[in-house]
């Protein structure tokens, strides 16, 4: 019935000259030196250090960055012995914060750890016992999204924004543009026609820099070494560029703006092209479904799109603390699926592991892989297990395709 309706709508549009649906969608990203991303990386570096020694460690680590100081707090229960101060300083140094003039100094800043243990009330719902399987570490809703518009099955605006942000860091670290400093933001606007990306219409770059670089030179070099290598296939003579639009961006990092773990959740996911359940990822061990179930939701959505069951797919999973099975599954294919969405929802339970323990095992999440996720997005990079498309045949077989 849905396929017939889409055919009728297409014929109606053709016969009566209905205009194409044109719209513009914008997504942003930030560099690894952005104050919030500093915090995400420190939190996930601590998580990784614990998982190296204690794969069953329970971690909910929050970091705050401000001028000259890093505060690390949260709840950690582990047998691991780690040096939190050294982890934080090493992370800052890897990012490039090696001088106080950059916004914070890895060697000179104050590090303040304030860590508690996980609440036993939470632990009893997560611990595996003879009479209790591992339940969700909290209630919550998680979303996953995929789109056929790019090879990575990600929305183009956030994909390009991430690549621009990563490129800013790469040319800085390689000393191609040595006057760049760690902080920065990017933003990309894409023109869509009938849900297909056509061109990039606007690119916004805010790059922290040495005070001695002239603005005209800065703009020229960022276009040449950052924008064109990333976006050349999508830009044209009409594309507008806004580079350091205020004129100066010398004061940056935590000196200019306090940072906090989990404050860039839309940057971490799909750039707004797809909903977000609300919980952040960084600093949380995989018993927290905020993280592990969001990865599973992406895995499900990506396999559905990769199997050509739909061009776009959003999957929602919801959980109750202490209960293993998800309490609901919802699929939205935005009118692009070749089978009814209800059938897809039923098949998901058969094909994909959805209990927290099963998710952790299937995606192999009890290992130190999370610091890599903490900048430039958790999705769209094939280095992660949740980006595999190994369930295509299972989905097709269950749906008789």
Specify burial of residue 384 (Cβ count, 10 A radius: 0-12, 13-18, 19+).
buried
Is residue 221 part of the annotated active site? The answer reads: no
Mean pLDDT lowest among 16-20, 26-30, 121-125, 346-350: 121-125
Is residue 366 part of the annotated active site? The answer reads: no
Is residue 34 part of the annotated active site? The answer reads: yes
Is residue 346 part of the annotated active site? The answer reads: no
Active-site choice (32, 44, 54, 62): 62
Is residue 37 part of the annotated active site? The answer reads: yes
The residues spanned by each domain of the chain are: 20-29+155-250
Is residue 2 part of the annotated active site? The answer reads: no
pLDDT digits 0-9 by tens, 349-384: 999 999 999 999 999 999 999 999 999 999 999 999
pLDDT digits 0-9 by tens, 145-180: 999 999 999 999 999 999 999 999 999 999 999 999
Is residue 396 part of the annotated active site? The answer reads: no
Please report the pLDDT score of residue 278 as a whole number.
Answer: 81
Options 3.30.300.10, 1.10.4160.10, 3.40.1230.10, 3.40.50.10610; CATH of 20-29+155-250: 3.30.300.10
pLDDT > 70: what percent of the chain? Answer: 91
Is residue 391 part of the annotated active site? The answer reads: no
**Between these two residues, 118 and 89, which has the higher pLDDT value?**
89
> What long-range pairs does 261-264 form, CB within 8 A, spacing at least 24?
261/36, 261/39, 261/40, 261/42, 261/43, 261/61, 261/62, 261/63, 261/64, 262/39, 262/40, 262/62, 263/36, 263/39, 264/30, 264/34, 264/36, 264/37, 264/40
Active-site choice (143, 249, 370, 379): 249
Is residue 191 part of the annotated active site? The answer reads: no
Please report the pLDDT score of residue 136 as a whole number.
Answer: 74
* pLDDT(118) > 70: no
Is residue 99 part of the annotated active site? The answer reads: no
Residues whose CB falls within 8 Å of the CB of residue 4, separated by 6 or more in sequence, listed in order: none
* pLDDT(310) > 80: yes
Active-site choice (80, 123, 258, 324): 258
Predicted model pTM: 0.91
* pLDDT(1) > 90: no
Active-site choice (288, 291, 298, 378): 288
Is residue 284 part of the annotated active site? The answer reads: yes
């Amino acid at each position: 019935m849905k396929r017939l309706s889409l055919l009728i709508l297409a014929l109606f549009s053709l016969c009566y000259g209905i205009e194409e649906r044109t719209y513009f969608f914008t997504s942003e990203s930030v560099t690894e030196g952005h104050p919030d991303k500093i915090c995400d990386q420190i939190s996930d570096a601590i998580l990784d250090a614990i998982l190296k020694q204690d794969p069953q460690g329970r971690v909910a680590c929050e970091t705050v960055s401000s001028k000259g100081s890093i505060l690390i707090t949260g709840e950690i229960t582990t047998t691991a012995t780690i040096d939190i101060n050294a982890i934080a300083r090493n992370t800052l140094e890897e990012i490039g914060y090696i001088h106080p003039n950059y916004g914070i100094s890895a060697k000179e800043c104050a590090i303040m750890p304030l860590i508690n243990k996980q609440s036993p009330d939470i632990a009893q719902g997560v611990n595996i016992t003879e009479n209790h399987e591992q339940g969700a570490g909290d209630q919550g809703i998680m979303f996953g999204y995929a789109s056929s518009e790019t090879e990575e099955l990600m929305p183009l605006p956030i994909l390009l924004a991430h690549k621009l942000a990563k490129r800013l860091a790469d040319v800085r670290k390689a000393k191609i543009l040595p006057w760049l400093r760690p902080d920065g933001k990017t933003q990309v606007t894409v023109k869509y026609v009938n849900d297909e990306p056509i061109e990039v219409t606007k690119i916004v770059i805010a790059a922290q820099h040495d005070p001695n670089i002239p603005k005209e030179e800065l703009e020229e070099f960022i276009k040449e070494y950052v924008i064109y290598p990333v976006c050349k296939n999508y830009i044209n003579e009409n594309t507008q560029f806004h580079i350091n639009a205020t004129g100066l961006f010398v004061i940056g990092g935590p000196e200019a703006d306090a940072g906090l773990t989990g404050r860039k959740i839309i940057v971490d996911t799909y750039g707004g092209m797809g909903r977000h359940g609300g919980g952040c990822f960084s600093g949380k061990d995989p018993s927290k479904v905020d993280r592990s179930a969001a990865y599973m939701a992406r895995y499900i959505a990506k396999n559905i799109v990769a199997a050509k069951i739909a061009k776009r797919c959003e999957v929602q999973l919801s959980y109750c603390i202490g209960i293993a099975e998800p309490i609901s599954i919802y699929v939205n294919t935005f009118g692009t699926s070749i089978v009814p969405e209800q059938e897809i929802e039923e098949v998901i339970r058969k094909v994909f592991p959805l209990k927290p323990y099963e998710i952790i095992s299937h995606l192999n999440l009890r290992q130190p892989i999370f610091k890599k996720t903490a900048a430039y997005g958790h999705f769209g990079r094939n280095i992660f297990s949740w980006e595999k498309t190994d369930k295509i045949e299972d989905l097709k077989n269950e749906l008789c395709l």
